[in-house]
């Protein structure tokens, strides 16, 4: 590519969406991705033995209520209508999440009606003594749902997820715990849900399939920028990598939680009967097991095959060089983020966004929406 009107550093969902919008508005876009493939953490791979689409970096389910995101993404892929259902294992029993009539009635051995559930939960939350203003995650959760449900389904799962006692986490981390007064066991309330029929990789390939877009993988923009021709230095940069890495961690690295995955192919047609099962007890070292074949129930051959692929997910402490997954939101991390954000604002032609750049955990639809907003806003002023 000769002329470059914009550089997109990072080919995850945010970067690919930005590149597409700019390209459709006549800009020549160079996309640089340090991994050997595009797609960020939504990248998948098809297992050659089983034909199962494996979510390389953990399960990703598209769901949205945002009209413009739904309209945009369906220009490139169609979805299979998969509805996400999550189970939880506690004390040798399996429950449906989220908290609702199915879980509460099974857990307490009751037969509550929808109209009775809110008062029951309120009574459970009001039992015993507790502070008027919850000071930490544990106090806030108990104030929402009561101690028995908290102890069974949240306390140890949270301890594993964040690597610390829930009492060390801020109350605002768990701003609300939805309790459904119904037997609706769909994990998400968005009615637009699914997995791309042709797989997630096809979404990224089609987003980047435009004559104004050039893609180079195995290129880290943080290193490339020092060797780039002067003409390319003048192009605006849309950066979606870690914002602290952008400035050499000069204020210190932002804290993240990372994940480790252990994958296994089993000689079974079905291991757990659903895509994701959470393990809420302390004696289980992982937080959940993914079984990927369930994401494509329309693929009868794969579903009926006498083999399946599962993946155990282990949260772990993040260190430099690890893959960052979940930002750790604390007063200290917010202060450090503000320093990096102010530093980025000083750089002409630099736009920082995406999950890593904004230090926010975004679902796929929110990443797309932010990218549409960013690209459109930039186009209107440039």
Catalytic residue positions? Answer: 176, 180, 257, 288, 313, 361, 363
Shortest CA distance to 57 belongs to which of 272, 313, 254?
313
| Residues 6 or more apart whose Cβ sits within 8 Å of residue 171 | 134, 135, 136, 137, 139, 140
Helical ranges in the chain per DSSP H = 13-24, 67-73, 101-108, 117-126, 137-145, 147-153, 155-162, 200-207, 221-224, 230-233, 243-246, 300-304, 331-345, 354-358, 364-381
How far is Cα of residue 238 from the mean position of the Cα atoms in its chain? 21
Specify the residue for token string 């801020």: 170
Shortest CA distance to 303 belongs to which of 7, 37, 52?
52
Shortest CA distance to 325 belongs to which of 313, 308, 339?
313
DSSP 252: -
**Using CA atoms, how far apart are residues 244 and 174, in angstroms rounded to an integer?**
26
Is residue 74 within 8 A of residue 193, CB to CB? The reply is: no
Tokens of 102: 């199915």
How far is Cα of residue 113 from the mean position of the Cα atoms in its chain? 34
Is residue 334 within 8 A of residue 251, CB to CB? The reply is: no
């Amino acid at each position: 590519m000769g002329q470059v009107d914009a550089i997109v550093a990072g080919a995850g969902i945010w970067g690919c969406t930005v590149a597409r919008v700019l390209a459709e508005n006549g800009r020549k876009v160079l996309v640089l991705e340090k991994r050997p493939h595009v797609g960020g953490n939504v990248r998948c791979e098809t297992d050659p033995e089983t034909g199962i689409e494996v979510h390389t970096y953990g399960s990703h389910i598209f769901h949205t209520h945002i009209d413009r995101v739904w309209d945009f993404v369906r220009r490139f892929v169609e979805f299979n209508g998969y509805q996400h259902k999550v189970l939880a294992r506690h004390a040798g029993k399996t429950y449906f999440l989220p908290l609702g009539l199915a879980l509460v009635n099974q857990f307490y051995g009751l037969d509550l009606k929808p109209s009775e559930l809110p008062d029951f939960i309120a009574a459970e939350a009001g039992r015993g003594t507790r502070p008027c203003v919850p000071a930490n995650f544990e106090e806030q959760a108990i104030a929402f749902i009561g101690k028995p449900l908290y102890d069974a389904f949240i306390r140890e799962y949270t301890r594993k997820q964040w690597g610390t006692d829930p009492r060390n986490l801020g109350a605002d981390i768990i701003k609300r715990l939805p309790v459904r007064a119904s037997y609706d066991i769909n994990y998400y309330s968005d009615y637009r849900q699914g997995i791309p029929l042709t797989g997630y990789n096809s979404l990224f390939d089609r987003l980047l399939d435009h004559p104004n877009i050039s893609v180079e993988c195995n290129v880290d923009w943080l290193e490339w920028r020092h060797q780039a021709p002067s003409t390319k230095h003048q192009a605006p940069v849309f950066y979606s990598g870690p914002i602290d890495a952008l400035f050499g961690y000069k204020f210190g690295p932002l804290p993240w939680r990372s994940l480790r995955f252990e994958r296994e192919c089993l000689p079974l047609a079905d291991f757990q009967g659903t895509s994701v099962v959470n393990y809420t007890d302390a004696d289980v070292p992982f937080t959940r097991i993914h079984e990927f074949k369930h994401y494509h129930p329309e693929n009868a051959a794969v579903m009926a095959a006498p083999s399946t692929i599962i993946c155990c997910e282990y949260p772990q402490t993040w260190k430099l060089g690890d893959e960052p997954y979940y930002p750790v939101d604390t007063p200290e991390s917010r202060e450090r983020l503000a320093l990096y954000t102010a530093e980025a604002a000083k750089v002409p032609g630099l736009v920082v966004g995406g999950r890593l750049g904004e230090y926010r955990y975004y679902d796929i639809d929110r990443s797309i929406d932010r990218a549409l907003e960013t690209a459109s806003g930039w186009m209107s002023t440039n």
